[in-house]
Amino acid sequence: MLRLRNNLKLSRQISTNFDKFESDFHKNHIPINDFQRGLLAMGSALMSLVDPFRHDMIACLGETAGMSAITYMKQKMESSPEGAEILKSRPRINSKTVDLNKLRTFPEGTLGRVYVKWLDDNNVTPDSRMAVQFVDDIDCAYVLQRYREAHDLFHAVLEMPTNMLGEVTVKWYEAIQTRLPMCIGAAIFGPIRLKPKHRNLYKKYYLPWAIETANSSNFLLNTFFEKRWEQPLAELHQELNIKPFILPQTRS
């Protein structure tokens, strides 16, 4: 009887998530033709290079020039039982769907505690991710939305801060795993903004680790984070084949 109630509760939750994203998709979706898509792709690419902090342009680039990558990500999720479950239930990651105060009560070292501590330490909110607008296929739109909302979790799982060095490292990981054009662009051009000392650390330690880890670890977007809040991060690292980054002691 308890199992039946739990299954019914889960079924209702999946239905609610599915309907909610479908509603949001139709509310935010902006249909465009191929010519408009090309113009937006070129314009957003140029603006992203001029001003890497134009998150709206970076988001636009991902939607207008990233369909091949989004399709690849969708296929990776469909090939995984956990990824397929995410696609079926379409969970969202924001302050309305995730009880951040509850995560703060979890034991040290658990995924939930690590995630909320990362948010607090970096003064970041999970509500800052833009809605997908220019992707016509609803399933592909969800995949990209999921990536955006899971980006902070990528940082937390990889234990990387939001400074330029941490962002570039995560972007290399994401570029290899997702093939998204804005991640590739940020990974290639982001290091230009690093100071000489950080650039040396990046070339010697951070970049090799990011490339090796991205290629050897499981597809991170297949992780149903919401069902793993209480899992120790060390255990999750082992499961996903992620070797934590440790910066060797260097002389100043």
Q: Taking 50 as the threshold, does the pLDDT of residue 7 lie above it?
A: no
Is residue 131 in some structural domain? yes
Give the residue among 156, 125, 119 at the shortest CA–CA distance from 244: 156
Binding annotation: 151-152, 155, 167
The predicted pLDDT at position 203 comes to 96
Number of helical H runs and strand E runs in the chain: 13, 0
DSSP character string of 102-157: HHTTSPTTBHHHHHHHHHHHTT--TT-PPPP-S--SHHHHHHHHHHHHHHHHHHHH
Is residue 78 in some structural domain? yes
Is residue 112 in some structural domain? yes
| Alpha carbon distance 47, 40 (integer Å) | 10
Is residue 222 in some structural domain? yes
Is residue 223 in some structural domain? yes
Mean confidence (pLDDT) of the chain: 89
Is residue 76 in some structural domain? yes
* Average pLDDT over every residue of 34-55: 78
The values of phi and psi at residue 110, to 5°, are -80, 155
Binding annotation for Zn(2+): 151-152, 155, 167
Boundaries of domain holding 19: 2-240
* Average pLDDT over every residue of 27-31: 91
| Count: domains in the chain | 1
The predicted pLDDT at position 54 comes to 74
Q: Taking the model in full, what pTM does it have?
A: 0.88
Q: How confident is the model at residue 8 (pLDDT cuts 50, 70, 90)?
A: very low
Is residue 11 in some structural domain? yes
Q: What are the pLDDT digits (tens) for 140-194?
A: 999 999 999 999 999 999 999 989 999 999 999 999 999 999 899 889 988 988 9
The predicted pLDDT at position 66 comes to 86
Q: What are the pLDDT digits (tens) for 69-124?
A: 999 999 999 999 999 999 999 999 999 999 999 999 999 999 999 999 999 999 99
The predicted pLDDT at position 177 comes to 98
The predicted pLDDT at position 190 comes to 87
Is residue 249 in some structural domain? no
